[in-house]
């Protein structure tokens, strides 16, 4: 799909205005803000009653990030950063990606009229490359793993005066702020914070952002509590989970050679989590829990969600939900409100 049939006709009109450099920057930014308000966030919070009956848990809610324009939570940080790039009058944005993030930035850049250069590891196979290209992004394949490619694309951005949209750099506070909005939306729907909030973990930015959002709400007296945060990722392939389970006070990198990508775990795995320290802090401060999840469990939960709730979910996206249900099995939760964030549609 191209940008043209991903977004509303109203957004297309606003995009033409944003791209018109004869207009003032203030007016162009205002129009881009309107695009963000129209297209990104305010995703659904669904009471999963069939899953409640299946697993004997009360009340289970699913925060479905697949409602965003490219089908993942990544749209939130992509649009926030392209707004920042537009404000600072960058002509080119660059980043490394294994898939979903690239599509999100490509769409956001396309609507802003900013050129987009996307670096992908040679060994990675993502069927979303075609989407990125249809959205006008230039794809560059370079050798090395994801972390290597992030480093190289950041260097190229610095040397060429491009906007660097990679994780773990100067934009981390911006990304965490964009993700904190998820906590605000959950609060607005529930009227308070849930008892637990479960999130799939890769780089840790999403996890840290949601936690920060809940902390901010609590400090301002909006909620009665901060939820216990549950992190989940692919078994033994994520530094945040492993560091927490080992009781470490810092996020320790894994051995890159020991990490193998599959079609189910690819969005979750890495040997270095760029915002690992932030995520580890969130886990500890919230008295949270961390879980390793197998490919088989990811696959099975995807099938069960489709059957019971009608959701078409990317398997990796179900990691947090699986962890939450396993924690309930262990602790036999009292009735309360529990939220699992599902990050991507299938």
CA proximity to 201, closest of 159, 229, 170, 173: 229
320 pLDDT above the threshold of 70: yes
- Higher-pLDDT residue of 341 and 97 is 341
Residue 144: helix, strand or coil by DSSP? coil
Q: Give the strand order in the sheet containing 289-293.
A: 44-47, 60-64, 338-342, 196-200, 228-234, 289-293
Q: What is the pLDDT of residues 69-88, one digit of tens each?
A: 999 999 999 999 999 999 99
How far is it, in rounded angstroms, from Cα 63 to Cα 331?
23
> Hey, which residues does 163 pair with through a beta bridge?
93
126 pLDDT above the threshold of 80: no
Share above pLDDT 70 across residues of the chain, in percent, rounded to a whole number = 99
Q: What is the pLDDT of residues 202-242, one digit of tens each?
A: 999 999 999 999 999 999 999 999 999 999 999 999 999 99
> Helix axis angle, 172-190 relative to 74-87, nearest 10°?
130
φ, ψ dihedrals at 15, nearest 5°: -60, -40
Residue 344: predicted pLDDT: 93
How far is it, in rounded angstroms, from Cα 338 to Cα 161?
44
Mean pLDDT of 279-291: 98
Mean pLDDT of 188-215: 97
DSSP state of 195: S
Residues 6+ apart with CB under 8 A from 286: 211, 226, 227, 228, 229
Residue 132: predicted pLDDT: 94
Beta strand pairing status for 60-64 and 138-142? unpaired
Q: What is the pLDDT of residues 246-264, one digit of tens each?
A: 999 999 999 998 888 888 9
91 pLDDT above the threshold of 90: yes
Give the CATH number of domain 9-37+73-170.
3.40.50.1100
Mean pLDDT of 150-174: 93
Q: Which of 60-64, 94-98, 140-144 has the highest mean pLDDT?
A: 60-64
DSSP state of 137: P
How far is it, in rounded angstroms, from Cα 83 to Cα 41?
15
Q: What is the pLDDT of residues 101-119, one digit of tens each?
A: 999 999 999 999 999 999 9
| C-beta separation of 165 from 93 below 8 A | yes
> Helix axis angle, 25-39 relative to 100-112, nearest 10°?
140
CA proximity to 294, closest of 268, 256, 331, 327: 268
5 pLDDT above the threshold of 70: no
> Hey, which residues does 196 pair with through a beta bridge?
228, 338
Residue 4: predicted pLDDT: 54
Query: What tokens were used for 9?
Result: 């006709």
What's the angle, vertex CA 253, arms to CA 147 and CA 262, rounded to 5? 60
167 pLDDT above the threshold of 90: no
| C-beta separation of 76 from 69 below 8 A | no
Residue 3: predicted pLDDT: 53
* Chain region(s) in the chain for CATH 3.40.50.1100: 9-37+73-170, 41-71+171-342
CA proximity to 337, closest of 48, 42, 73, 55: 48
Residue 299: predicted pLDDT: 97
How far is it, in rounded angstroms, from Cα 79 to Cα 104?
8
1 pLDDT above the threshold of 60: no
Mean pLDDT of 286-298: 98
Q: Is the pTM of this model over 0.75?
A: yes
CA distances from 134 to 36, 42, 95, 128 (A): 21, 26, 17, 10
Tokens 């009227």, located at residue: 191
56 pLDDT above the threshold of 80: yes
Pick the CATH number of 41-71+171-342 from 3.90.470.10, 3.40.50.1100, 3.20.20.80, 3.40.50.720: 3.40.50.1100
Query: What tokens were used for 130?
Result: 């075609």
Mean pLDDT of 188-207: 97
Average pLDDT of every residue of the chain: 95
């Amino acid at each position: 799909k191209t940008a043209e049939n991903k977004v509303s006709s109203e957004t297309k009109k606003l995009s033409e205005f944003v791209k018109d450099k004869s207009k003032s920057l203030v007016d162009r930014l205002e129009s881009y803000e309107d695009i963000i308000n129209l297209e990104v966030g305010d995703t659904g919070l669904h009471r999963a009653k069939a899953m409640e009956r299946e697993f004997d848990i009360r009340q289970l809610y699913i925060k479905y990030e697949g409602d965003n324009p490219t089908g993942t939570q990544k749209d939130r940080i992509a649009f926030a950063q392209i707004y920042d790039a537009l404000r600072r009058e960058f002509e080119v944005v660059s980043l490394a990606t294994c898939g979903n993030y690239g599509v999100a930035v490509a769409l956001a850049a396309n609507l802003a009229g900013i050129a987009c250069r996307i670096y992908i590891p040679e060994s990675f196979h993502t069927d979303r490359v075609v989407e990125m290209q249809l959205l006008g992004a230039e794809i560059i394949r370079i050798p090395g793993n994801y972390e290597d490619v992030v480093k190289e694309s950041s260097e190229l951005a610095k040397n060429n005066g491009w906007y660097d949209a990679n994780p773990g750099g100067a934009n981390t506070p911006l990304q965490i702020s964009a993700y904190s909005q998820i906590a605000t939306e959950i609060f607005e729907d529930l009227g308070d914070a849930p008892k637990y909030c479960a999130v799939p973990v890769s780089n840790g930015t999403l996890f840290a952002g949601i936690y920060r959002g809940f902390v901010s709400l609590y400090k301002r007296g909006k909620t009665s509590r901060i939820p216990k945060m549950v992190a989940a990722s692919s078994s033994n392939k994520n530094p945040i989970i492993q560091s927490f389970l080992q009781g470490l006070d810092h996020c320790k990198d894994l051995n890159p050679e020991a990490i193998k990508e599959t079609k189910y775990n690819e969005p979750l795995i890495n040997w270095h989590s760029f915002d690992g320290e932030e995520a580890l802090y969130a886990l500890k401060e919230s008295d949270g829990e961390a879980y390793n999840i197998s490919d088989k469990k990811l696959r099975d939960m995807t099938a069960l969600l489709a059957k019971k709730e009608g959701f078409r979910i990317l398997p990796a996206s179900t990691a947090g939900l699986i962890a939450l249900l396993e924690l309930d099995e262990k602790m036999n939760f009292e009735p309360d409100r529990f939220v699992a964030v599902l990050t991507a549609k299938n």
